[in-house]
A and B are shown apart, each in its own frame.
Chain A
């Protein structure tokens, strides 16, 4: 079943993951694999665009938790963008805005990487 898809592209040396569909215990391993591949090739500047993400459960949230430390150790970050209110509520309920930068749009998040570098 293709209820979850990940698109991948690069903007100004920042890796964009576009999530589409339903992220639950069944589909979370796909996201895990995408992060593993980025880390393997030392790509630590990651923006996750959630515009087409319809649903997230704790299994999906757990994937972000699993990789954030390694990403930050590599001097990068995972930034999240374009969340629907429904998806944002789940992140918010668990206090994720304390740990992750969440932006309204992708470009804002990309720019943020270069603000920091200055």
Chain B
């Protein structure tokens, strides 16, 4: 599978287009409905974080979402040029404590890590942030 991608403005109304794009690519790669839903949700959470935190709700900014796959490994790379935010450094919340204190927010990172097999973050030389979400095709 070649790399394909979509670029969207940093606006929450574009999340649906990102989910549709990633779902279609995941289906073409061979995932079933359950995994497709997980991948789409993880990518939604990643893009929501970019919109709110990296780009601080500036709708003129652009989010790049690229998917690639081979050897049973499906990767989605979400790239932005906003403020650095490393979700892999967010500690897993103690969910019981979290829920009993009615906290809000920060659930997205936890979800991403639960839904995908690997979540990696890097800063490339051009000063863009890259979040790489990986899921393996079930054997």
Interface residues of A (CB under 8 A from B): 1, 3, 22, 24-26, 55, 57-59, 61-62, 65-66, 68-69, 86, 90, 93-96, 98-99
Does B108 have its Cβ within 8 Å of any Cβ on chain A?
A: yes
Q: How far is the CA of A26 from the CA of B15 in the complex (A)?
A: 8
Question: Are A65's CB and B104's CB within 8 A?
Answer: yes
Contacts between chains A and B (CB distance < 8 A), count: 70
Does B95 have its Cβ within 8 Å of any Cβ on chain A?
A: yes
Q: How far is the CA of A26 from the CA of B64 in the complex (A)?
A: 19
Which range contains the number of B residues in contact with the other chain? 20 to 34
Cβ of A62 to closest chain B Cβ, rounded Å: 5
List of B residues within 8 angstroms of A24 by Cβ: 12, 15-16, 44, 48
Cβ of B44 to closest chain A Cβ, rounded Å: 5
Q: How far is the CA of A96 from the CA of B96 in the complex (A)?
A: 9
List of A residues within 8 angstroms of B115 by Cβ: 93
What's the dominant secondary structure at chain B's contact region?
A: helix
Interface residues of B (CB under 8 A from A): 11-13, 15-16, 19, 34, 37, 41, 44-45, 48, 51-52, 95-96, 98-100, 102-105, 107-108, 110-111, 114-115
List of A residues within 8 angstroms of B99 by Cβ: 65, 94-96, 98-99
Q: How far is the CA of A66 from the CA of B103 in the complex (A)?
A: 7
Cβ of A7 to closest chain B Cβ, rounded Å: 21
Cβ of B76 to closest chain A Cβ, rounded Å: 15
23 contacting pairs across A/B (C-beta < 8 A) = A22-B16, A24-B12, A24-B48, A25-B51, A26-B11, A26-B15, A55-B19, A57-B41, A57-B45, A57-B48, A57-B111, A58-B111, A65-B99, A65-B102, A69-B102, A93-B111, A94-B110, A95-B96, A95-B98, A98-B95, A98-B99, A99-B99, A99-B100
Task: Find the residue from A26, A58, A61, A90 having the highest chain B CB count within 10 A.
Answer: A58
Closest residue on chain A to residue B103 by CB atoms: A65
List of B residues within 8 angstroms of A96 by Cβ: 99
Closest residue on chain B to residue A97 by CB atoms: B99
Additional pairs, 11, CB under 8 Å, beyond known A25-B52, A90-B41, A98-B95: A24-B44, A24-B48, A55-B41, A57-B15, A57-B44, A61-B107, A62-B104, A66-B104, A68-B102, A93-B114, A96-B99
